[in-house]
Structure 1
Amino acid sequence: MLSILIPVYNYNTITLVQELYKQVSDCNIAFEILVLDDHSIFFLEENNAINKLTGCTYQILPKNIGRSAIRNLLASKATFDHLLFIDAGTFPSKHNFIKGYLKNIHHKVVTGGMTYLPKPPEKPYKLRWVYTKKREAVIKKQNDKRPIVCSSNFLIQKEVFDKVLFDESLTKYGCEDVVFFDTIIQKGFTIEYIENPVIHDANDDAETFIIKTEYAVENLIQLINKNKLTPDRYKVSRLYYLLRKIHLDKLVKWVFLTFKGSLTRNLKSSNPSILCYDFYRLGYFCFIKNKK
C-alpha cells in the first residue's frame, strides 16, 4: 500500500526510520521503507542498522547522483502505488503523522509542509533555522500563484510521479522541488495541502547554507534560461528583471560585492537577518547575470 522513500547524504537517519516504522506498523497496512544513500562518507554503520527492521532497506549508491536523480531512483524501486517522500534531516512533528497521510491517500498529491525546531540553535546554525521559520514553515492555499512546496515531505500516487519525475539536469541544491511541483500543476493534477509537517533540524551551518543558496540561484538562472521556469516564479528573479529594466542591476551587484563580507558576518552571527539573506540572494543573482 505505502512506500516510504528517504534519500540520505551524510546523515544519521536511524531515528527517523525507527519513528516512521513504529507509526506505520501501528496502522496495520502493507508498507516498505526504502533508504537510498547518495554515496555518503559518514554514518554508514549507523544507517546500516535500518536493514535489521522488517520491510526496511538501506542501500549505498556506488556514486553520487544528485538530489533529483536519487528521488527518481527511489520511486522506480518502490513496490507500492503510494509514495511518501521524507527527507533525512527532518522528523515528524506528530505521533499520528502517517495516519494523517493515510486519511488523505485518495488524493493524487498531498504535501504536509515543514516547521522548525521550537528552540533556536546557536550560531552558526541559526541562519537555517530562521530561514525555515520565515520562508518554509507556511501552509499555502491551493489557489496561490506561487505556493510554497518542498520535496522534504509529500505523498504522491506512483502513476502521477511517473508522469512528472524530477529534473535530473539539476544535480546541485535548489529549485528541483519547484520545477517538480509546477510540472504537476501544469499536467492538470491538484496538490492537496494539509497540516502534517516535518520538523527541519537546521543541521546546516551558515557557511554551508550560504553555499547552497548560491547553488540555488545558479539553478534558477539556468532554469529561466532554458524556459523551464518563468522569471516571475521567484521573487528574487522578478526583482532582478525589474532592476535590469531600470538599469540598476549593476549597481546592486556593486553593492553586493562591496558589502559581501559584512553580509556574510551577519548571516553567520547569533542574530542573522532574513532581509540580509534576501539581499544576498538578489546581489548574487545580479553578480552571476553580470559576470564577465
Structure 2
Amino acid sequence: MLKLGAATAPVRLSILTPFFRCDPTPLLAAMASAPAGVEFVLLDDGSGSAELLARVLTSAAALRAPVRVIVWEKNRGRAAGRNRLVAEAAGDYVLFLDADMIPDCPRFLERWLEVAESEPLAAFGGLSLRKATRTAETALHHNLFGASDCRDAEGRARAPAQFTASANLLVRRDLLAQLPFDSGFVGWGFEDTEWALRAAHLGPILHVDNPATHAGLDDVETLIRKSEEAGPNFARLAAKHPSAVRSFSAHRLAQALRLAPARAALRRACAWLARDPLSATPMIVRRAALKLYRASCYAEHLT
C-alpha cells in the first residue's frame, strides 16, 4: 500500500475508488480542493500498468487530503475490490465513486458531508451526463444511459433499491462491515443492485440530488460484451431476490424470451441493429435492440 499526505482533522468521509485500466486522475483533479475530514482510498485492481499507476500517484499527491493507494497484481472484480476498500477506510461514512465519474457540482463533497450529518444508513446521489462527451462511438450508450439511469431523487425514490448504484453511493461504514458486497458477482453488473436489495431490509435508502457524471461511456462492442458478462450475474441476482426481481422489466422480458424460438438468431439481429453498420437505424430502434440483446443474454442463464 502507498500512502500520501496526513490527516489534519478526524476523517468523516472516505472516498473509495477502484479502477481497472481506467484512469481516475480526472476524478481526483475535480476534487483537488477536498474539505477537511475527507480521505481518499484507491484500489488498482490488477491494471498492470506502471504508467497508469504513476499518473494516479502524481494526481493523488496534489490532493489536499490523505490518500492511500492499494495495488493488486491480479484483477479480483468489483465486489471484492469494494470490500477491500471498505476494510481500509477510516471515515464514519464511505462514498463509492467509480474511476470514470466527475462530480457535477463544485460543492459535491461538501453536500455529501451535509447529508452525512443526518446519519442515513445509505444515500444515493444520482447519475448524470452533464459533463460527458458524446461521440459517434458512444452515442448509443449516451442515449441509453440518459433514458435509463439519469433520474432525479423523486423518480429514484419510487423504487429505491432498484435505482441505487455504487457509482455515487454514500454508506455508513459500520453497515458495510456487516453487509459487504457479494464477491460471488464477477465480471460486469448487478453487484450493487443486489447489495441495495439487502440493505433495504435494514433501513431506508435515502435518495438525494447530488449527481455525478458518468464520463466513461462505452462503444457498442463494449456494451455488447458487458451484456454477455452480465447474464450470470443477473441470474444470481434473481436467485437471491426472486420476489423483488420479478418486478424488474428486464426480468419480465428475459422470461418471455426464454420461450422464444431461435434466440441466437434474435441476438445476432439485435446486435446488428445496435451496431448500425449502415448508419441508418434510428436511435430509439438501436436502444431497443440493445435492450433486447441484454435480456436475451439474461434469458440464457435464468432457471
Structure 2 residue aligned with 1:220, among 234, 250, 259? 234
In structure 2, what is the equivalent of residue 239 of structure 1? 253
In 2, the alpha carbon distance for the partners of 1:220 and 1:208 equals: 18
In structure 1, what is the equivalent of residue 290 of structure 2? 277
In structure 2, what is the equivalent of residue 263 of structure 1? 273
In structure 2, what is the equivalent of residue 16 of structure 1? 27
CA separation of 1:241 and 1:38: change in aligned 2, threshold 3 A: same
Structure-to-structure mapping, 1:1-292, within 5 angstroms: 1-22=12-33, 24-25=34-35, 29-42=36-49, 43-52=52-61, 53=63, 54-105=65-116, 106-117=119-130, 121-139=134-152, 140-144=155-159, 147-186=162-201, 188-224=202-238, 226-230=239-243, 231-242=245-256, 249-251=259-261, 253=263, 255-257=265-267, 259-266=269-276, 272=283, 273-288=286-301
In 2, the alpha carbon distance for the partners of 1:136 and 1:47 equals: 28
**RMSD between superposed Cα atoms in Å:** 2.5
**1:274 Cα offset (Å):** 1.6
In 2, the alpha carbon distance for the partners of 1:208 and 1:89 equals: 15
In 2, the alpha carbon distance for the partners of 1:261 and 1:2 equals: 42
In 1, the alpha carbon distance for the partners of 2:222 and 2:210 equals: 28
Q: Is the 8 A contact 1:252 1:286 kept in 2?
A: no
CA distances 1:75-104 after superposition (whole Å, capped 9, x unpaired): 000011111111110100011111211221
**1:288 Cα offset (Å):** 4.9
In 1, the alpha carbon distance for the partners of 2:230 and 2:203 equals: 26
CA separation of 1:137 and 1:257: change in aligned 2, threshold 3 A: closer
Q: TM-score, normalised by structure 2?
A: 0.83
In 2, the alpha carbon distance for the partners of 1:17 and 1:62 equals: 22
AA paired with 2:134? P
Aligned partner of residue 104 in structure 1, secondary structure = helix
In 1, the alpha carbon distance for the partners of 2:217 and 2:250 equals: 25
Gapped regions of structure 2 (runs ≥ 5)? 1-11
In 1, the alpha carbon distance for the partners of 2:160 and 2:38 equals: 35
The more displaced of 53-62 and 264-273 is: 264-273
How many residue pairs end up in the alignment?
A: 280
**1:233 Cα offset (Å):** 4.5
Aligned partner of residue 240 in structure 2, secondary structure = coil
**1:254 Cα offset (Å):** 5.3
Q: Is the 8 A contact 1:123 1:269 kept in 2?
A: no
AA paired with 2:120? H
AA paired with 2:288? L
In 1, the alpha carbon distance for the partners of 2:86 and 2:262 equals: 42
Q: TM-score, normalised by structure 1?
A: 0.86
Q: Is the 8 A contact 1:6 1:35 kept in 2?
A: yes
In 2, the alpha carbon distance for the partners of 1:145 and 1:20 equals: 27
